[in-house]
Structure 1
Amino acid sequence: MIRILIVDDEPLFREYLRKKINWQDYGFNIIGEAKNGVEALELTDELYPDIVLTDINMPHMNGLELTEELYKRYPDMGVILITGHSEFEYARKAVKLGVADYILKPFQKEELLMTLLKFRNNIKTSHELKARDQTNKELLTAGIINNLLLEQSVFTDKEIKAELDSLGMKVTTVKFVVTVLRMHMTGDEEIAVWQFAVGKMLKEYIKTNRNHFVLSDHHGNVVSILEVEEDWQDSDHVKIFRKFTDMVSKNLEFKLSAGIGSCQKGFGRVRHSYIEALSVLNQHELENCIGIFTYDLMKEENKDISIFNVEINEKLMKFLREKNEEEVIRVLDELYEHISSKRIAGDYVQVISMGLLSLLISFITYAGKNIEDVFGTDFSPNALDTLHSYYEQHHWIKKLFSKTVQYMIEHRKTRSYEVAKKAREYVEVNYVRNDFTVAEIAKAQFINQTYLRSMFKKEMKMTVSEYITGLRLEKAKELLIEDTYTLAYIAEKVGYSDASYLSKSFKKHFGIAPKNYINLKG
């Protein structure tokens, strides 16, 4: 519905407007009435209408003064003036100042409707564009923050802050605390359904003037990344999450636990706080405890092995995503070698192996694959119970991880693959332009530059800029072989601003100057 505010000092005319037309039938909703400009401004701040339908001649603040003030505060708001013949010149001037339209008294209701309907389409288009823009911004922001959790960022705090600033996220303290929320319920499908709901509730529950990023991780957890004040207190954070988890447990059919990492300074330390939060949560889960747990209060003797286990899991998840079987096997071998050297008790080894299996199943599930397709119809997690030595468990777990990587390679079509593929296609069409940028490639896919560079390098093992340069120089080499074009012409055709720059780049890339290359081929 398009929201309309009526402004006129005559009660009978306001009533006429309100009752003469069945507004809802045409997609409009009268959300309020005001008798002068001052009152209209107060209502506008409160109700934020799409259209203000206002008379010109009113006491205290007339329609033109109201219009001027509205456009200062709300540049996108539509104003339609209702005016008499004696005020016609004022209305014409107002249109020049940006008023959407005007209508002369007396008028038929059809005339007013036509004016409003004409403007309604513009408003609907504007709303759709804003919604799409907001969605894209949210996706870009989520991509940046998610990368901070998954791996150490290759970008500086300044670069990440600038990227977030461009998306409307003003980061001030650059101090963050990561909290990991885990839902205690059975069934991956049920968890996936509730992840979004719990994340949305948490976002609405924590009222702060600082940034609060809420997302889901690949373990099925809800992750809160909260920017905190300089005088942040751990006890205050615990109280907030205790109240939230109590509220969820009381009203829903499952319980929540929360692991809280330490306060860290800088974007590069967000992952560290996340690892700590996961560690303390996992440690207490082994002890069958449900509640709010902080890493700072975790027993020192548990910190090393807990952090070790989480880091192993994160490394495995990283190499699984990269389909790097060699690194996956190396990490598993190192883990079980550590188990052997530390003479870890058999029961705890069983817990570690079950944790690895759970990680693997989560990875397959979140990749949208079927467990039976990967492991076969005869697979059962209970098989682990029959393996008593850590050697047997080691062999079995390695076999499952290898099968998973091989399956993913055979059925490869990852997000990084899609991003890199579309980027390559864009470059191949636009490399002839010397003014096109990486930012332009990212914008075409509705992703940010940071995410594009990361995904492209992951897939192509080179930067976007290196790919662009390589393609341009290969095209230049093809033209040089024909030996019919000047170097200046070739430079223009492959996206270089001048021949000398092409010559320097060509020699640096191929180890030979273009002129000598022509002679060599000739």
Structure 2
Amino acid sequence: MNQLCKVLIVDDEILVRQGIKYLLDWEREGFQIVGEASNGQEALDFLKIEKPHIVITDIVMPVMNGEELTRLVKRDHPEMEVIVLSSFSEFDYVRSTFQNGVADYILKPKLEAEALLQVLRKTRGRIPGLESMEAPQDHNLSVDSILSRLVAGYEIQVDADFVRLQFPHELFSFLGCEVNRSVLKDRHYVNQFRESIETMLKENVPGLVQHTISGEQEGIVFLLNLEEKRWLETVQAVKSFSQSVVESQPELRFTLSQAFRQFSEAAGVYQESHVKLQQYRFFFPYEVLLIHSELPAQEAEPEKFNLTQFTEQLKRLQLEEAFTELRQYVTSLSHHYESDIFQFKSFLGNIIFNVTNQFSHIKDLEEQKYALFRAIDEAKFADEAIGILGVFLDQVQDQTSSLTQSPGSIVNMKKLLDYIDEHYTEPLSLTELARHFHFNPSYLSSLFTAHNKEGFKEHLNTIRTDKAAELLRAGEAPISEISSMVGYGDHSYFCKVFKKYTGLSPSGYRRQYYSQE
């Protein structure tokens, strides 16, 4: 049998890798994709275990780019050939890779099946032992190719007789094992572990048929085909195996999808059960095995968080109440395991943004917010992200309590109130007041609400309406002039504010006062 030419795909964009994988019928053309990598360093780690004949690599990638990868491959593995993917703007890099011995290059905008196949055949002809090799004559897709295409979302027609031959039983399910990405680089370990799972299933479930889904980025996935009467045995075998393995390798986690009866349902179940179980893992970090049919009852999704009320509590420095309600809400949200992970993390980040914005005068909080955004974004589990938020909230309470409870803050508050009493006839604003006392406006607002029953604006309006009431009772000044005498430039606005605070219009207030004398 002719040897297949082994190919490694290296690109930091998963969609590009997927596109290349399904651009050709690789095995029919005499090639085999033996792996993927998202940067040059991952590719070098892969080469230590596998020995591909051809490496197809992008140029611009994080960690290690394609230019450096090409140089190291040709230095340490001169027998391997490299094909470079590039855009028009990267020609200088491509020229450099040719100096290092690259076999050929393909422009990404012109990446088509026929062009790729021609470059692959030409490159294969340079490899000793493969140069005269013809493509296998069997034009049928292998089971591995069919499965990898199906779960990737590609439509594919499969002969019914072929399906019955490969999968003789009436029930299907996906078994997944999530493996740490650093462990995935050790192909020898992954192959050994996959074999141990296969052996366990064969020993415990008579007649079971299993196929590995190739190209998985987060671990190992099997499609199981079994007699319906063996389903409970399979579940029990997976439970026992996962519990025994996790004792020595606590980072491993397993999933078992819902069972289904038709091979044509595989793509849908893969997305709606297997992939979702992997997503639910974010909210179940300590469950070694998630089984679709044994998921706990879903709690109701909590109502939308009242951010307006929360912000008002921050302004008034009612942090104990605000943070207690927030923690309860986040806990409730984490119990709704169907929550979108991105939205969950975005909510936590938005809370941190709002809090740091409110207390922007606290330098430590402001300086660390971007690091907190990044930490939450990288959190693997909900409790980890919640813990990051919790530490932040504790820090906010410590920082703000030291500011508002200090004797200096009380002295500052008295100076503020005295200044307002003396200058209420002037066009005062919180910004101007903060500038006068060399405070941050946000801090001044928080300080004011922390030491008074009302905010700055409400306090100023109270003073002005009290003074206006005195002038109205004195009966000397015309009502039209009193508004400007107490600091209001707009008479109609003065009348509106006065009525809001006293319940009467200025003229009504004056009439009532004189009628009572």
Q: Report the TM-score, using the length of structure 2 for normalisation.
A: 0.30
Larger radius of gyration: 2
